[in-house]
Structure 1
């Protein structure tokens, strides 16, 4: 019997590693338990996709290819990356759900059977909310601030779960699926 959760969309900076700020793919370090979390999703037949805003690409500070290779090395099934600068109008920059819609079309996903894991409530979780996906906020990166000083920016949206880190988030997903 397959998992009811079809895919997990995971933010990069502050969720699986780094500082919450831009870190070039060559200098990026995963959190100690992030690879275990990614592998746990995959071993439970849940597709894993990167879901990240990377406006520094538009400034020439990195390439989409460098990010895609990084995610491939971690075992992600694909990467959805918004490369646009902040003033540019696009449909992919979180909190807009364009990257999620594109993934749904490309992979035949029911977004209401997907989960978004991120550290920023007013981007990651608002995008998830718009498509009816499960919403998990991790306290790493900007997570504590999202729950505190910046909670007003996404006050109408409640996370389905708040996790200490990416591994606790994935353990919650897997435990929830096994209980079905």
Structure 2
């Protein structure tokens, strides 16, 4: 089945699994529905990319290779990772859209035909907003906080869909 969505970018911590906080790739646990959700997207001919800020790389607490191996083992087509700290003022750290732009160039994507699924409004949703991609906020991880006490941090946009979790987000996207 061919979808009108070219690719989905999925945040790691709090969206795929974990708690929303950094967990080393060796100890990271996926939510039970994550692998099935990734496979469902791929069955619909949608590329699936990890999309994550991981400043612990710059601190020497993990390596880009460890994250890349992890995402590959989960079935992702590729991963776009910002290894920088917020103070580094790079172009790739979400909410800046650098990771999305890099993926668009590498895979010849129209980002308006892509979706971002994440749990943080002022990073994931703002990055998606910057390139006019579909914005899906999950309530797992920091999602409920993003919709509550942190909502003012990303007031300039609203999600296209608020999902209970990644599985709900993928189901909505496929049925859209």
TM-score normalised to structure 2 length:
0.99
What is the rounded CA distance, in whole Å, between the counterparts of 1:147 and 1:85 in structure 2?
A: 25
Moved over 3 A (4+): none
Alpha-carbon RMSD: 0.7
1:24 equivalent to 2:24? Answer yes
Q: Distance in 2 between matches of 1:118 and 1:87?
A: 22
What are the ranges of 5 or more consecutive residues in structure 1 without an aligned counterpart? none
Measure how far apart 1:86 and its partner are.
Answer: 1.9
Is 2:141 the counterpart of 1:141?
yes
Cα distance in 1 for partners of 2:86, 2:97 equals 16
- 2:155 counterpart residue number: 155
The yes-or-no answer on 1:127 pairing with 2:117 is: no
1:4-153 equivalences under 5 Å are: 4-153=4-153
User: How far apart are residue 89 of structure 1 and its match?
Assistant: 1.4
Q: Distance in 1 between matches of 2:87 and 2:134?
A: 29
Distance (Å, rounded) in 2 between the aligned partners of 1:116 and 1:161: 11
Structure 1 Cα separation of the partners of residues 89 and 123 of structure 2: 15
Instruction: List runs of 5+ in structure 2 lacking aligned partners.
Output: none
CA displacement 1:81-121 (0-9 Å, x = unmatched): 00011210100000000000000000000000000000000
Count the aligned residue pairs: 176
Task: Summarize deviations over 1:3-50 as a string: whole Å, max 9, x none.
Answer: 110000000000000010000000000001111111100111100000
Give the Å deviation of 1:2: 2.5
For the residues of structure 1 that align with 2:164 and 2:2, how far apart are their CA atoms?
27
TM-score w.r.t. length of structure 1: 0.97
Counterpart CA distance in 1 for 2:156 and 2:92 is 22
